[in-house]
Structure 1
Amino acid sequence: MAVKDFALPDLGEGLTESELVSWHVAVGDTVQLNQIIAEVETAKALVELPAPYEGTVSRLYVEPGVTVSVGEPLVAFEVAGTPEPDAESDSTADAADAADAEEVREPMLVGYGARPDARGRPARRPRPGLTAPVVREPAVAAAAPASAPVAAEVQERPRATPPVRKLARERGIDLAAVAGTGERGLVTRADLDAYAAQAPAPEAPATPATRGDAEEIRIPIRGVRKATADAMVRSAFGAPQATVFLTIDVTPTNELIERLRARPEFAESRPGLLAVVAKALCLAVRRTPEVNSRWDDAAQEIVQTRAIHLGIAAATPRGLLVPVVRDADALSLAGLSGAIRELAVTARSGKTPPGALTGGTITITNVGVFGVDAGTPILTPGEAAILAVGAVRRQPWEHQGGIALRDVLTLALTFDHRIVDGEQGSRFLADIGGILADPASVLTLV
């Protein structure tokens, strides 16, 4: 039997670390190729990791809740195979060739693509000493200097077993300050005990606690929350943003929705107000294409996109996500409604792949589902406009020369004032409002 380590792979989209959410296996379990063994949370989504080998789980390096860098080992497997060549063997070249052959036979990790290599096979890599398990590097680590040992590349954090890491946290001990005496510098429970015995006792608090509950709760900023915070700061301070508002009577649109839902071709998609707003936005972009653009600071150019890749802001248990409906302008109302519905379900279940959260050109956020009438949304970085849809209120409204109870809605459009002028932003919002107030007006749009 041979021991193989599986390191956190490059999950794409420039992500360099992930938090281990849960293990689906335990030490001693037998796993099949591509069996889901763990779930990790990136800054964008939850990702399931499949097993790259058939074998037995011999070690779990990381416990749930720990953030792991790309290239750091997650789990070790015992797999059937030829043992490593003896260190004293004279057939060094043959051993290296055998290692290359073994690399070729190594199964591909489903969902992350094959290893890049100009010659069609993996590049030969330095081999660690006999006392160290074989660490398979992901493609992102291939650019490291050839002279650097593989094991050194993944030791960004002190090595310790999950129980020892937990014990260190409970004792308030920084593992980086503890000298490991275990194999390959592993920090053991005895090392923690020795460190604690030598460390000075903490000073007693000046004032004893007077209540059982903590005065404050500290929540680590990571995952989606960290990514959202970074994006909002970049957006708010990176582009001059202006917001315009429009309140309209959407009773005709709601009446249209009821009629459409009664038709057989809409029985499955069942379009709602958000889908109609999305369709109206796509139609209005034709007259004001500036809103479907981005600012290229390096080239000092405005980049206008022909296709509309529509972001739909979705509140999920993990935080705010903005998955994207590709080529939304090419979809029918039924197709757009179905895409939005599927996108929302996937986002709330935490299964949105990272690639589906990038590439948007304009965004809609529906604050009305929370009972909010209006707001000033912040642009998604790299986009020129975002539309906020408020709650529909049944209230008195001027109608046909009199006062009647009508369905009233407020829209808010925030735009990048470097790209979109006030006249253009106002016209775009008025076009959307005009469609919602009178759906037949789409016949007049150029």
Structure 2
Amino acid sequence: MSATMIKEFKLPDLGEGLTESEILSWKVAVGDTVSLNQVIAEVETAKAVVELPSPFAGVVAALHEEPGTVVEVGKPIVSFEVDDAGAAQGAEATDAESPAGPAKREPNLVGYGAVVEHSGRPARRARAAAPAVAPRAEETAVGERPRSTPPVRKLARDLGVDLERVTGTGPHGLITREDVQNFAGASAPDAQAPTAPAALDRETRTPVKGVRKFSAAAMVQSAFTAPHVTEFLTVDVTPTMELLARLKSNKAFDGVKLTPLTIAAKAVLIALRNNPTLNTHWDDEKQEIVQYHYVNLGIAAATPRGLTVPNIKDAEQLPLRELAVQLSELTDTARAGKTSPADLSGGTISITNIGVFGIDAGTPILNPGEAAIVALGAVRKAPWVVDDELVVRQVMSLSLSFDHRLVDGEQGSRFLADLGAILSDPAIVLTMV
């Protein structure tokens, strides 16, 4: 009979030296039997929401952190009860050759790469009477974190209450909502001040963390380190809109989502060929200008968790149909909060489509590490002069921000002019390639 032991799983570094992650949800509970590499939790890093696989095959003995908790890398988050086979990370499991077929090795996010056991719904042991989120053994000592629920901890943050100073009146010393409110009322300097609930009705405070915290820091760094210049150009995109309509009726594009962004993205890639200085990077540490010979095209996406800029790798190599498919997948994944850290890294130039919000122009801030970003305005019908006659055309404003350390005014202007020329007459591409 194999011996059993308790194994702790510490929060790993999920990429690029990130120091913390927030536990969004647990996919398992105490008493569940899990297989190797089974998804056990969903966590949010500073860049993305990722699924966390189990490094062990065994039974969940304790969940050390509740959803909503920000955990530092290296801290235990879950304990497993495992036998000798389950503890042998990377080794083949003793029951690998099951009726469901032999086990196989598969890559995964945090690099366990061990045996994947047969699939199926996890078995579930009878639940113990202990709470679903069990405290760590060391937390029973003096100095343990005050016991409370996530809503109560949020209320305490909103009211500026230090839970270390609050005495819990709930079961086993649990700090309740009333405990926090009573403490806040007793600590108020003015007895006539509004009660806690009334004060909360007047404002909402949301902790800055995860993707929004990372994005805010990145934008501040970019704005105050790269000398931004923004130029504008309004163009007649009627020919582009006509081309878009023809492509939508073309059988080669059946089932493919086509938008003005699709054509604009391809136009950006073509314009870069004659204006490569916009596809560069300023290496401040080495005091070098890095010229990229590939294009990882970033697409700014507004998500419920904040702004993200995932990118399409080697976009310059893609035909229009494949580019359209990847654009659609990229934006859908971003809005669902499922973008991987790899897709958020390594961009070389970006596009932000502010036109979808009905905005004509703006001064976009550079994605850190990139030399340029293009903002696409809304396509609107407007009076336009064609052959000395005033006619109604579909027009769009283009905004180009660039790093003046890397891109001179002439270079930025030529790129913007080329981009505008393509969108106003797609056939001009024949003279550029």
The interval holding the TM-score normalised by the smaller chain is: 0.7 to 0.9
Q: CA deviation at 1:293?
A: 0.5
| Number of aligned positions between the proteins | 383
Matched, 1:215 2:218: no
The 3 A distance-change label for structure 1 pair 167 and 266 is closer
**Pairing partner for 2:290 from 269, 282, 303:** 303
The 3 A distance-change label for structure 1 pair 308 and 314 is same
Contact 1:278–1:364, Cα closer than 8 Å, also in 2: yes
Contact 1:50–1:109, Cα closer than 8 Å, also in 2: no
Contact 1:63–1:162, Cα closer than 8 Å, also in 2: no
CA distance in 2 between counterparts of 1:347 and 1:58 reads 34
Q: CA deviation at 1:111?
A: 2.2
Question: What is residue 394 of structure 1 aligned with on the other side?
Answer: 381
The 3 A distance-change label for structure 1 pair 218 and 287 is same
Q: CA deviation at 1:103?
A: 5.6
Matched, 1:30 2:33: yes
The 3 A distance-change label for structure 1 pair 168 and 214 is closer
Contact 1:45–1:352, Cα closer than 8 Å, also in 2: yes
* TM-superposition CA deviations, 1:47-88 (whole Å, max 9, x none): 111222222222111011110011111111222349xxxxxx
What is the TM-score normalised by the length of structure 1?
0.78
Matched, 1:10 2:13: yes
* TM-superposition CA deviations, 1:261-297 (whole Å, max 9, x none): 1111111324321111111111111111100001112
Deviates more, 1:213-222 or 1:346-355: 213-222
**Pairing partner for 2:314 from 323, 327, 331:** 327
CA distance in 2 between counterparts of 1:252 and 1:338 reads 22
Matched, 1:243 2:230: yes
**Pairing partner for 1:19 from 3, 17, 22:** 22
Structural mapping, 1:43-62, within 5 Å: 43-62=46-65
The 3 A distance-change label for structure 1 pair 290 and 106 is same
Q: Secondary structure at the match of 2:347?
A: coil
Contact 1:315–1:321, Cα closer than 8 Å, also in 2: yes
Q: Secondary structure at the match of 2:193?
A: coil
Contact 2:68–2:150, Cα closer than 8 Å, also in 1: no
Which consecutive residues of structure 2, in runs of 5 or more, have no partner in the other structure? 94-105, 114-136
CA distance in 2 between counterparts of 1:333 and 1:258 reads 15
Contact 1:52–1:109, Cα closer than 8 Å, also in 2: no
Structural mapping, 1:14-413, within 5 Å: 14-81=17-84, 102=88, 105=91, 110-114=108-112, 159-160=144-145, 163=148, 174=162, 189-190=172-173, 202-209=187-194, 212=198, 214-413=201-400
CA distance in 2 between counterparts of 1:67 and 1:17 reads 7
Q: CA deviation at 1:215?
A: 2.6
Give the percent of matched residue pairs that are identical in Structure 1 and Structure 2.
53
Contact 2:34–2:58, Cα closer than 8 Å, also in 1: yes
CA distance in 2 between counterparts of 1:333 and 1:169 reads 48
CA distance in 2 between counterparts of 1:170 and 1:245 reads 47
* TM-superposition CA deviations, 1:315-337 (whole Å, max 9, x none): 11111110010111111111111
CA distance in 2 between counterparts of 1:251 and 1:10 reads 49
Q: CA deviation at 1:102?
A: 4.5
Q: Secondary structure at the match of 2:194?
A: coil
* TM-superposition CA deviations, 1:106-156 (whole Å, max 9, x none): 9898321249xxxxxxxxxxxxxxxxxxxxxxxxxxxxxxxxxxx99x99x
Q: Secondary structure at the match of 1:403?
A: strand
* TM-superposition CA deviations, 1:135-180 (whole Å, max 9, x none): xxxxxxxxxxxxxxxx99x99xx6548647776666676466799x
* TM-superposition CA deviations, 1:177-203 (whole Å, max 9, x none): 799xxxxxxxx954979x999999524
Question: What is residue 147 of structure 1 aligned with on the other side?
Answer: none
Q: Secondary structure at the match of 1:286?
A: helix
Contact 1:51–1:109, Cα closer than 8 Å, also in 2: no
Q: Secondary structure at the match of 2:22?
A: strand
State the one-letter code of the partner of 2:380. Answer: R
State the one-letter code of the partner of 2:57. Answer: E
Contact 2:375–2:399, Cα closer than 8 Å, also in 1: yes
CA distance in 2 between counterparts of 1:112 and 1:338 reads 28
Contact 1:45–1:354, Cα closer than 8 Å, also in 2: yes
Q: CA deviation at 1:14?
A: 1.7
What is the TM-score normalised by the length of structure 2?
0.80
Q: CA deviation at 1:299?
A: 2.2
CA distance in 1 between counterparts of 2:218 and 2:25 reads 27
CA distance in 1 between counterparts of 2:204 and 2:152 reads 21
State the one-letter code of the partner of 1:433. Answer: G
Contact 1:363–1:380, Cα closer than 8 Å, also in 2: yes
Q: Secondary structure at the match of 2:420?
A: helix
Q: Secondary structure at the match of 1:40?
A: strand
CA distance in 1 between counterparts of 2:350 and 2:154 reads 41
